[in-house]
Amino acid sequence: MATITNLTFDLGETWIINHTATSDGTTPLNLTGATVALYVKGSASAILVPAQSTTTITNAALGQSTIEVSPAQQTAAGITAGQVGNYVLRIALLDGTVTDQNIGSFTIRQTAAT
């Protein structure tokens, strides 16, 4: 069962999502050979698509990964302040099993510097 977490990001700042995948809410999920991806849905009519991001598995045995979305990736994806939508942090394991670890909404706000 996916954990619901609603996120807020500042436009133009690097977004970093540190995550620990679990099989039951507490037991780490081994990410050896896995693919970790952030998927987004920008509106009710949009389909779920992989976000432009960089994913690093930081400790496969402990289920730890980091997803980073740089300002350049935000620009390339056409992300704007005030944008809202939904996301899924999805993991495809080496054996083909797919697990949605986190789901929720996201909001993009204008940074104070911009």
Mean pLDDT value across the chain: 88
Task: Indicate the pTM of the whole model.
Answer: 0.84
The bridge status of strand 7-10 relative to strand 98-109 is parallel
Q: Retrieve residue 94's tokens.
A: 């080496």
- Please determine, for residue 106, whether its predicted confidence score (pLDDT) is greater than 70: yes
End-to-end alpha carbon distance in the chain: 38
**pLDDT band of 111, cuts 50, 70, 90:** confident
Question: What is the C-alpha separation between 113 and 13, in angstroms, rounded?
Answer: 10
Identify the pLDDT of residue 83. 87
Q: What does the pLDDT look like over 40-85, one tens digit per residue?
A: 876 555 556 677 889 999 999 999 999 999 999 888 888 889 988 8
**Domain segments of the chain: what residues?**
3-109
Q: Helices in the chain by DSSP H: which ranges? A: 71-76
**H or E element that contains 98:** strand 98-109
Fold of 3-109: Immunoglobulin-like (2.60.40)
Question: What is the C-alpha separation between 2 and 61, in angstroms, rounded?
Answer: 20
What average pLDDT score do residues 81-95 get? 91
Count of Cβ atoms closer than 10 Å to residue 47 Cβ: 7
